[in-house]
A = this chain, B = another copy of it.
Amino acid sequence: MKVKVSRKAHFNAAHRLYRPDWSFEKNDAVFGKCNNPRFHGHNYDLIVSVTGKIDPETGYVMDMKQLKDLIKAEVEDALDHKNLNVEVPEFKALNPTAENIAVVIFNKLRPHIDPSKELEIVLYETPRNFVTYSG
């Protein structure tokens, strides 16, 4: 009797899509406007889901307050109002596409979630573009 519990969160950040080992021209051809060297930015909407059995004691799969605090400590404090390329160590050598940001968020949260439970990350880069990753 597994239930998935989901919590929405939010952060704002600047980023630029490019590879430092490519020429500007190649970056431009592949990443277009997203390669603006002056950066652009997004309001990222995040849905973190944890799937597991309901604890018969509490009726919870996981206390949503704990999940909210965990997202705050591990994700929002690390990424909110930041320049992802310049200020976030995980993206020093990793292009901050929505796909890669979702994987980074998954890896930040996974050690803090009970190993018997599954974790899923949905990350909206814009209201029209989003990605889903579950390990």
Residues of A within 8 A of B (CB): 1-10, 12-15, 17, 19, 30-34, 36, 38-43, 45, 49, 54, 57-61, 63-65, 80-83, 86-87, 94-100, 102-103, 126-133, 135
Contacts and interface: CB of A to CB of B under 8 A. Distances in A.
A129 to B, nearest CB: 5
How often does this chain occur in the complex, in copies?
A: 6
Nearest to A123: B3
A contacts with B: majority SS: mixed
Nearest to A36: B81
Contact of A132 (B6, B45, B63, B86): B6
A89 B8 CA distance: 31
B99 A38 contact: no
